[in-house]
């Protein structure tokens, strides 16, 4: 493999996408707070959109497909972040904490 | 030593910049995953997204790179930072054993997953398309968004509106009136 041409090879992008996904998974298990888990979820989404972009640039007959899909992922990620953060504010108001270990009592 | 042609030099510079962006992406992701203070996690996330924007640029879509910086770094990271300031997590009473357990399980799972997927990537062979119907420019993207993906486009805007209203309702409902 010619290292000077690595920005023109599909495999390099796919490997970076895999690394993003797996680092996100690892962080998802490791973090103890809701914000930390949200951050690592965003990393997983970023890996997915990099995969879409790479495939659409190198393999799709219509390179616009992946770009449109990535734009939609961005919109959904923004909506998701807004909802999750407002839930987090609500949780903090009730429990005075956003650590996952403190959120274990049910009421009803 | 033979003289380096300008083309080779340009190619080497492009590869170097690409490696920098790829390294920035992975490094930022690692910081976001392992940092203990959440503020550093958010900074790692922003670094990773900046690197990702560079990678999008190398994939010939500068518009997406711009949107990545604008939406992710400029909006989502800032919103997460605001939420952190409103609900500041306390640092004490870290249960080490629980954290180690979670880290080990995550490392095992993610490592196995990474090795399997990277082996898969190395083994697979893909066929490039015979023809590309357009160049993937911003004009093509805009046309596709308003023709073929028009319905999804409208749905996303409705979703965003609903998300704003929902976030307001959820964050407001727990607020007690001042005595």
Q: What is the ipTM score, two decimals?
A: 0.89
pLDDT of residue B177: 63
What pLDDT score does B95 carry? 62
> How far is residue B130's CA from residue A103's CA, in Å, rounded to a whole number?
55
- Does B105 contact A at CB distance below 8 Å? yes
In this structure, is the dihedral angle defined by the CA atoms of residues B126, A58, A11 and B31, taken in order, positive or negative?
negative
pLDDT at A50 over 70: yes
Position A74 scores a pLDDT of 92
Which chain B residues in 61-100 lie under 8 Å from chain A, judged by CB atoms? 61, 63-64, 67-68, 71-72, 75-76, 79-80, 82-84, 86-87, 89-90, 94-95, 98-99
Number of structural domains (chain A) is 1
pLDDT bin (cut points 50, 70, 90) of residue A73 is very high
SS3 content of chain B, % helix, strand, coil (to 5): 75, 0, 25
Residue carrying structure tokens 């998974």: A25
Which candidate from A10, A67, A97 shows the least CB-CB separation from B64?
A67
| Residue A107 confidence (pLDDT) | 63
Q: What is the pLDDT of residue B106?
A: 87
Range A80-108 average pLDDT: 80
Residue B91 half-sphere exposure, CB side, CA atoms within 13 Å? 5
Answer yes or no: is A107 within a domain.
Answer: no
Q: Give the model's pLDDT for residue B179.
A: 61
Domain membership flag for residue A29: yes
Between A39 and A3, residue with greater pLDDT: A39
- Angle between helix axes B77-86 and A64-95 (nearest 10 degrees) is 0
Residue ranges of chain B whose pLDDT lies below 50: none
Q: What is the mean pLDDT of residues A34-47?
A: 91
Do B38 and A35 contact (CB within 8 A), yes or no?
yes
Least confident of A5-9, A27-31, B34-38, B109-113: A5-9
Residues in A closer than 8 angstroms to B99, CB to CB, are 30, 32
Helix (H, G, I), strand (E, B) or coil at B36: coil
CATH number at residue A94: 1.10.287.3510
**Which range marks the domain in which residue A39 is found?**
11-101
- In A64-103, the residues whose Cβ lies within 8 Å of chain B are 64-65, 67-68, 70-72, 74-83, 85-90, 92-94, 97-99, 101
Chain A interface includes B163 (CB < 8 A): yes
Q: What is the pLDDT of residue B10?
A: 86
| CA–CA distance, A93 with B86 (Å, rounded to integer) | 10
Query: Does residue A5 belong to any structural domain of this protein?
Result: no
């Amino acid at each position: 493999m010619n290292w000077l041409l690595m920005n023109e090879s599909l495999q390099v992008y796919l490997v970076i996408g895999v690394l993003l996904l797996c680092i996100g998974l690892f962080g998802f298990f490791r973090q103890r707070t809701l914000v930390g888990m949200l951050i690592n979820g965003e990393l997983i989404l970023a890996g997915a959109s990099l995969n879409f972009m790479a495939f659409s640039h190198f393999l799709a007959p219509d390179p616009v497909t992946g770009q449109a899909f990535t734009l939609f992922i961005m919109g959904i990620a923004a909506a998701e972040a807004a909802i999750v953060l407002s839930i987090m504010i609500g949780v903090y108001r009730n429990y005075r904490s956003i650590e996952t270990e403190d959120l274990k009592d049910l009421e009803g | 030593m033979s003289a380096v042609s300008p083309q080779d030099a340009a190619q080497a510079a492009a590869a170097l910049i690409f490696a920098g962006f790829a390294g920035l992406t992975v490094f930022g992701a690692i910081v976001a995953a392992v940092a203990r203070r959440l503020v550093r996690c958010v900074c790692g996330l922003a670094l990773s997204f900046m690197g990702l924007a560079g990678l999008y640029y190398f994939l010939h879509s500068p518009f997406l790179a711009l949107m990545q910086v604008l939406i992710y770094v400029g909006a989502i990271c800032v919103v997460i930072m605001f939420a952190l300031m409103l609900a500041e997590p306390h640092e004490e009473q870290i249960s080490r054993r629980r954290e180690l357990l979670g880290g080990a399980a995550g490392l095992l799972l993610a490592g196995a997953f990474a090795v399997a997927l990277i082996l898969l990537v190395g083994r697979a062979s893909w066929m490039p398309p015979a023809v590309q119907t357009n160049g993937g420019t911003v004009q093509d993207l805009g046309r596709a968004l308003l023709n073929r993906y028009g319905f999804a486009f409208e749905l996303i805007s409705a979703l965003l509106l609903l998300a704003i209203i929902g976030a307001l309702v959820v964050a407001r409902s727990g607020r007690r009136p001042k005595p």
